[in-house]
Structure 1
Amino acid sequence: MQVKLVEMTSEEFQNFISFEMEHYADEHIKSGNWKPEEAMDKAKAEFETLLPDGKDTENNHLYTIRNGDKEVGVIWLAQTSAEKGFIYSITIWEENQGKGFGRKAMEELETLARELGIKHLGLHVFAHNTIARDLYEKLGYKEKNIKMEKTL
């Protein structure tokens, strides 16, 4: 396995943003945060705020995860201050899941983050995504906040 992070091309970014908005909306629906009829509009608004200049938005690093020449996923890091970064997204395409690409990509991203001067790296994971939560815990990420809700 030879995982490397390569800056997204414009075409890869267009594919990423289309997939990511739909996926993000769906995750909020699954979590009970958003209603299906409002989810895409809310997702689009958030992405327009976070990436106003698309892939050229300052302090945002969007990578295609490659294993040799094969694209296996995508990852997005934002530098939120001189010493802090936030991973907005990591997606390993379904046919590549469970093969260690997520772990390797996270390790590569941590190396790149250190090179940028980032000392603290955060991320968000939906509670129902137990596979991702397990990976992040194994990589040393600690829960900082837990939001709970009960449907009556």
Structure 2
Amino acid sequence: MIAFKPMNQEEFKQYLSFAIEDFAKDKVTSGNWSEDEAIDLSKKEFSRLLPKDEKSDHNHLFSIFNNQQLVGMIWIAQTSTTTTNPNEGFIYDFIIFESHQGQGYGKQAMKEAEIIAKKLGINKIGLHVFDHNKIARGLYEKLDYEITNITMSKSI
């Protein structure tokens, strides 16, 4: 059985060092950024979205545990502070660490995230998945997330 615990400062630092690099790699793989600019752009994006680190307003960062073992993390943001998307939220990041994948933690965590989102007053939640991340896309589709936009590109 998994449990969410608010991310503490040390966990946030560990997460951030991994997440900046991981996001940069995904943006390069997807063709959005060049390798030369990726780390710098990733750092800027995390600074913009989390100006107060793990204590940033309307952002909820959780460590995911199975018993006492850290198996992943999730970041849920409330976007209900805007008038264009009342009561909506967004999952900015979600990871089950590689050594814990394939054990059902992802599905359990996403269901728990929905429960927490409802408690926060969120009645619709979105997320982004890179097309090259087939495992994550499959999980989200199994949990009834629907494709709302598709961006395509071609190198010429």
TM norm structure 1: 0.98
State the SS of the aligned residue for 2:146.
Answer: coil
Instruction: Provide Cα deviations, 1:3-33, integer angstroms capped at 9, x if missing partner.
Output: 0111011100000011000000000111111
Q: What's 1:57 paired with?
A: 56
Aligned mate of 1:126, from 116, 123, 130: 130
Residue type at the aligned position of 1:12: E
Query: How far apart in 2 are the matches of 1:96 and 1:32?
Result: 28
Show the 5 A alignment for 1:85-100.
85-100=89-104
Q: What's 1:48 paired with?
A: 47
Q: Does 1:71 align with 2:41?
A: no
How large is the Cα RMSD of the aligned pairs?
0.7
> How many residues end up aligned between the 2 structures?
151
Query: How far apart in 2 are the matches of 1:30 and 1:39?
Result: 10
State the SS of the aligned residue for 2:148.
Answer: coil
State the SS of the aligned residue for 1:140.
Answer: coil
Instruction: Provide Cα deviations, 1:72-122, integer angstroms capped at 9, x if missing partner.
Output: 001000001151100000011110011111110000010000011100000
Show the 5 A alignment for 1:17-32.
17-32=16-31
Query: How far apart in 2 are the matches of 1:87 and 1:109?
Result: 9
Identity of aligned residues (%): 48
Q: What's 1:137 paired with?
A: 141
Q: What's 2:151 paired with?
A: 147
Instruction: Provide Cα deviations, 1:20-50, integer angstroms capped at 9, x if missing partner.
Output: 0000000011111111010000000100100
Moved over 3 A (4+): none
Query: How far apart in 2 are the matches of 1:7 and 1:116?
Result: 14
Query: How far apart in 2 are the matches of 1:48 and 1:84?
Result: 22
Query: How far apart in 1 are the matches of 2:107 and 2:16?
Result: 22
Query: How far apart in 2 are the matches of 1:138 and 1:19?
Result: 27
Query: How far apart in 1 are the matches of 2:52 and 2:65?
Result: 24
TM norm structure 2: 0.95
Query: How far apart in 2 are the matches of 1:97 and 1:20?
Result: 17
Q: Does 1:80 align with 2:79?
A: yes
Q: Does 1:110 align with 2:117?
A: no
Gaps of 5+ in 1: none
Gaps of 5+ in 2: 81-85
